[in-house]
Structure 1
């Protein structure tokens, strides 16, 4: 024993926590990017408004 206390935990938490935060931020940035790039109003749909009671797209293509 040399009298010096070894710090608990070491370097692993200092690497894993920022890596996890970067992964979380990157995933959220990707979701925001996809949300802005997609066009939810533009739906290619072939059904006509015939009143048959079936579901169809609210707005058929752009």
Structure 2
């Protein structure tokens, strides 16, 4: 095998390894987002409850749990 063939094969292998690594990171990040989406409770938001009804603060759309 020539030195040029070995260098070409090494570059191709490195490109595949980098590509697979990037793909694995993207799949892992998406899996994490799906996990968080299913385990979180977006309807359960704590908010400020003022008895006087003042509107100087932002409030949650729904009541807390």
Q: TM-score, normalised by structure 1?
A: 0.72
Structure 1 unaligned runs (5+)? none
- RMSD of aligned Cα (Å): 2.4
Q: TM-score, normalised by structure 2?
A: 0.70
Q: What is the aligned length?
A: 61
Structure 2 unaligned runs (5+)? none
C-alpha distance after superposition, 1:14-58 (max 9, x if no partner) = 111011101101101101111111111101223237442232111
Q: Which has the higher helix share?
A: 2
Cα 1:51/1:17, change in 2 over 3 Å: same
